[in-house]
Chains A and B, each alone.
Chain A
């Protein structure tokens, strides 16, 4: 599995995200707080579902994460969530753990970048 490094392309499309929140710092802060809370919860749910070969829950949770990453304009994380959702839909159980690892990695890269951006907004 190729793991994207923090120094490569940005995890967040900042211009798109700022347009979406209308440069509202408070709103962006709220979104980051929600992400901090919900992302680990969804990852835990995914880990359990994949361990139990529960494809329906895997597909649903990865779909939810996809929506979350779309709202945060995080294209790489979106791609990782789509990949996991598709694999669950295709019942490719063996490929799920690697796809999950990629998703965890992309999510982990996202948070520090979001916090940096948050600090820059007036």
Chain B
């Protein structure tokens, strides 16, 4: 049921409109001044259709339109001025204030309903456009298989996070992770199973990080994780947590469970001065290579130009 706001300081007019619109199937909210109208229309999930009288206490109808139009972040509100002011000058002023339509009192019921249906069509069109835009935005920023950020976005997010952590003197931890022997899974079980494995790995990584960390698919079976504002001393345990989440239990597929492990290269931004994003990824990749060389299913930390922390953080491979 579509919600509509009626703002009118005349109780008789409010009652008439309210009854008419309820019978027409609207869920009606009624206020008797312009300030309350703005509050209703600008609140989250407020009505998106409004019938506004012109002359009202506190704020008149055109002022309501102007205030609502200034709130650009909210969904579009279709506003109709319904007033006994009927000169051309009034109509122009009302529409210029941001109203979508203008009706003169006394209203004709059929015309009022038809105009509101026009408003509904416009709102529905807007909803479809916003939905299409959001869909395109998601497709442009996310990996279609895993739903994670795609490579371009995760690298941008890393760049922003590196800049922020330098500015604030905090530390972010970068993990470059690669599924071990993934080619063998694809070759022996097929790409459909390989896709199932990648999706499950994405879910497990997401389940192992905080809601404000970033996870992206960097390449085929490579994932880039940015742990925002993460203390250096915790980087080892956080990386290990992700590794363990991947290693067990085996990934369930429609055919059979598949044991999967992952190697991770880790870098803490605080340890490596002012490296560029490309250099950070390069260093994380070198650490990942070390993890692969060390037998896989393990976490290795980046070497200089990122200097090693005092605590040993290179982990021996778990049994796999």
B1-24 contacts to A, CB under 8 A, are 8-13, 15-16, 19-20, 23
Which B residue's beta carbon lies closest to that of A73? Answer: B106
Which B residue's beta carbon lies closest to that of A39? Answer: B12
Is B191 close to A, CB under 8 A? no
Say whether A71 contacts B109, CB under 8 Å.
no
Cβ 8 A contact of B10, one of A21, A30, A37, A64: A64
Cα A30 to Cα B18 with chains together (Å) = 12
Cα A72 to Cα B15 with chains together (Å) = 12
Chain B hits for A70, CB < 8 A? 84, 105-106
Say whether A21 contacts B16, CB under 8 Å.
yes
Say whether A22 contacts B109, CB under 8 Å.
yes
Which B residue's beta carbon lies closest to that of A68? Answer: B12
Say whether A27 contacts B16, CB under 8 Å.
yes
A44-81 contacts to B, CB under 8 A, are 60, 63-64, 66-68, 70-73
Cα A13 to Cα B222 with chains together (Å) = 78
B53-70 contacts to A, CB under 8 A, are 53, 55
Query: Quick one: which of B12, B19, B23, B84 has the most chain A CB within 10 A?
Result: B12
Chain A hits for B16, CB < 8 A? 20-21, 27, 31, 71
Which B residue's beta carbon lies closest to that of A26? Answer: B19
Distance (whole angstroms) from the CB of B238 to the closest CB of chain A = 65
Cα A113 to Cα B51 with chains together (Å) = 30
Quick one: given A27-B19, A64-B55, are A35 and B12 in contact (CB under 8 Å)?
yes
Say whether B12 contacts A71, CB under 8 Å.
yes
Quick one: given A22-B23, A31-B12, are A67 and B105 in contact (CB under 8 Å)?
yes
Say whether A67 contacts B10, CB under 8 Å.
yes
Chain A hits for B53, CB < 8 A? 67
Query: Quick one: which of A34, A63, A67, A73 has the most chain B CB within 10 A?
Result: A67
Quick one: given A24-B19, A70-B84, are A64 and B106 in contact (CB under 8 Å)?
no
Cα A27 to Cα B21 with chains together (Å) = 13
Say whether A20 contacts B106, CB under 8 Å.
yes
Chain B hits for A34, CB < 8 A? 11-12, 15
Say whether B11 contacts A66, CB under 8 Å.
no
Closest 3 CB pairs of A and B: A70-B106, A34-B12, A70-B105
Residues on B lying within 8 angstroms of A by beta carbon are: 8-13, 15-16, 19-20, 23, 53, 55, 83-84, 105-106, 109
A-B contacts besides A67-B84, A71-B13, 14 pairs, CB < 8 Å: A20-B106, A20-B109, A22-B109, A27-B19, A30-B15, A31-B12, A34-B15, A63-B84, A64-B10, A64-B55, A67-B8, A68-B12, A70-B106, A71-B106
Chosen A-B contacts, 16 in total, with CB atoms closer than 8 Å, are: A19-B109, A27-B19, A30-B19, A34-B11, A34-B12, A38-B10, A60-B55, A63-B84, A64-B10, A67-B12, A67-B105, A68-B12, A68-B13, A70-B105, A72-B12, A73-B106
